[in-house]
Amino acid sequence: MTAVKQKQQPFGSYLEALIYPLLLLGVMWTVYWAERVSGFNMVEYGVRPQNLDSWKGVFFMPLLHAPNDYAHIINNSFPTFVLLAALIYYYREIALKVFTISWLVTGLGVWIFARDEHAYHIGMSGVIYALFGFLFVSGFFRNYRPLQAISLFVVFVYGSMFWGIFPQKAGISWEGHLSGMTIGVILAVIYRQKGPQGPKYQYEIEKELGIEPPDLEGMWVAQQEAMERYRQEMERQRLEFEQQQEHPVRIVYHIPPKSPEGKPQDGNEAK
């Protein structure tokens, strides 16, 4: 069957994919340096599980990083840029929804499910896991090679992140990683019909338009049956002809005999 190209929804521009991740990184690093230089501890703006006073951490948690640990913000910066840029460029139509929901639900999941009620959870890693889960799973729902290639790229570069959803080291919010990964996969399922789609086959387009496709199989069967009937008729005629050749038809003429006087017996004069 032949694939018929449909009008593709445009990808985002390279400029958009560059500017917005850089703006986010700029905010992250500004908050980091402000906290580091001022000495003001903003950890209380993170998420403290099951604590009503830390509701604001759902909004601020991804922007906060340990002020005395360069590795924390550096390790989060590069994947934030790459994954967010991929989301904006390849999923322009739904990028804002996916990013916003990932941001909020990741923090909410930590607030609900994290175990240590006395610990504050901070950092962008939960959102990174949400973007990873979305980009990885979403590409496999779409018969579109560019998006499938992004899925393979993400798993090739960041596949080792998968182990971060399990408890490993103290001080690492595996609950945030798991919450992010979960919401990313869920969003990929919810929005599987949104955003760029691969080219469709003719029969798929006709089905969506409610056009009944021709019964090609039925037409072929009917044609075969007609040919078989024609063959049988020709065979019957051939057999009849052969039988006539074996037993040729004799033609017998019935003529009334003449009387001795030269007249037919019926009394009529012979001519």
Give 143-191 as a DSSP string: --HHHHHHHHHHHHHHGGGGGGGS--STT--HHHHHHHHHHHHHHHHHT
**pTM for the predicted model, two decimal places:** 0.70
Q: Are residues 195 and 236 in the same domain?
A: no
Q: Which of 204, 232, 248 lies at the terminal end of a domain, its last residue? A: 204
Q: Which has the closest alpha carbon to 177: 131, 221, 228, 236?
A: 131
Q: Which residue has the tokens 């078989």?
A: 228
Under the banding of pLDDT at 50, 70 and 90, the label for residue 241 is confident
| Separation between Cα atoms, residue 227 and residue 181, nearest integer Å | 61
Residue-wise pLDDT tens digits, 101-155: 999 999 999 999 988 878 899 999 999 999 999 999 998 888 777 888 888 888 8
Residue 89 in any domain: the answer is: yes
Residue 115 contacts residue 166 (beta carbons within 8 Å): no
pLDDT > 80? residue 253: no
pLDDT at 212 over 80: no
How many Å apart are CA 136 and CA 125, to the nearest integer? 16
Q: Are residues 195 and 229 in the same domain?
A: no
Closest residue by Cα to residue 153 from 85, 94, 105: 85
Distance CA 28, CA 123 (A): 9
Q: Tell me, what's the pLDDT at 66?
A: 87
Q: Write out the residue range of the structural domain in which residue 191 sits.
A: 3-204
- Position 209 scores a pLDDT of 58
pLDDT above 70 coverage of the chain, percent: 79
Same domain? 257 vs 188: no
More confident site: 241 or 111: 111
pLDDT digit string, tens, across residues 224-236: 888 888 888 888 8
Average pLDDT over residues 10-25: 89
Pair 37, 110 in one domain:
yes
Binned at pLDDT 50, 70 and 90, residue 47 comes out as very high
Mean pLDDT of the chain: 82
CB neighbours of residue 187 within 10 Å:
23
Please indicate, yes or no, if residue 209 is contained in any of the structural domains.
no
Tell which of 169, 186, 204 closes a domain: 204
Instruction: Point out the domain boundary residue: 150, 171, 204.
Output: 204
**Are residue 121 and residue 234 in the same domain, yes or no?**
no
Cβ atoms of 31 and 66 within 8 Å: the answer is no
pLDDT at 201 over 60: no
| Residues in Cβ contact with 255 at an 8 Å cutoff, skipping those fewer than 6 apart | none
pLDDT of the residue at 16? 92
pLDDT band at 97 (very low <50, low <70, confident <90, very high): very high
For 199, which DSSP code? -
Q: How many CA atoms lie within 13 A of 244 on its CB side?
A: 7
Strands 3-4, 200-201: parallel, antiparallel or unpaired by DSSP?
Answer: antiparallel
Lowest mean pLDDT among 7-21, 60-74, 111-125, 237-251: 237-251
Q: Which pLDDT value is given to residue 216?
A: 72
Residue 49 structure tokens: 């599980």
